């Protein structure tokens, strides 16, 4: 999102849990399109609240998994948030060879890119990624 549309919109990547490392295959395929995830750290909605992020200040939550959709929908009981569910391939565990695995991750990455473009139009910024995504 930041790479394609700049920093005029506040974007935060959040997971259901924060105890997971960023997958090396995700790092590799995002690097192919100039998005650096190697310094990215997983955080949860709970982490955000504990660290002082005001979840009510977000307009939209895009959920990429059924678990994140459920968690985002729980938040709508307390905050005025729009929630969208983008059914994206979960590449975890797919493929036999390294190249097969990378291709599955590329497919997921490309699905996300297509959804971004469908929602917000052609990319307007090709600035280098300095903040991890």
* CA–CA gap between residue 38 and residue 17 (Å, rounded): 18
Domain assignment of residue 31, yes or no? yes
User: Would you say residue 96 lies in a domain?
Assistant: yes
Categorize the per-residue pLDDT at 130 as very low, low, confident or very high, splitting at 50, 70 and 90: very low
What H or E segment, with its residue span, contains residue 61?
strand 60-63
Which two structure tokens, joined as six digits, stand for 86? 């983008």
Instruction: Please check the confidence at residue 40 and state whether its pLDDT lies above 80.
Output: no
Query: For residues 68 and 15, is the Cβ–Cβ distance under 8 A?
Result: yes
In a domain, 6, yes or no: yes
Residue 4 tokens, joined: 């394609």
What is the separation, in whole angstroms, between the first and last Cα of the chain?
A: 7
Question: Is 64 a domain residue?
Answer: no
In this predicted model, which residue has the larger pLDDT, 54 or 65? 65
Range of the domain at 45: 2-57+92-120
Tell me whether residue 83 is exposed, middle or buried, using C-beta atoms within 10 angstroms of its C-beta: 0 to 12, 13 to 18, 19 or more.
middle
**pLDDT beyond 70 at 80:** yes
Domain count, the chain: 1
Total length of the chain = 133
């Amino acid at each position: 999102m930041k790479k394609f549309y700049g920093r005029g919109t506040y974007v935060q990547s959040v997971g259901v849990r924060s105890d997971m490392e960023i997958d090396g295959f995700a790092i590799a395929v995002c690097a192919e399109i100039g998005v650096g995830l190697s310094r990215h750290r997983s955080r949860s909605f709970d982490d955000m609240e504990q660290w002082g992020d005001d979840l009510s200040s977000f307009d939209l939550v895009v959920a990429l998994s059924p678990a994140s959709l459920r968690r985002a929908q729980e938040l709508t009981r307390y905050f005025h948030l729009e929630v969208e569910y983008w059914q994206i391939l979960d590449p975890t565990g797919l493929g036999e060879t390294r190249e097969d695995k990378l291709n599955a991750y590329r497919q997921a990455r490309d699905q996300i890119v297509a959804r971004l473009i469908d929602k917000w139009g052609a990319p307007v910024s090709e600035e280098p990624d300095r903040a991890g995504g």
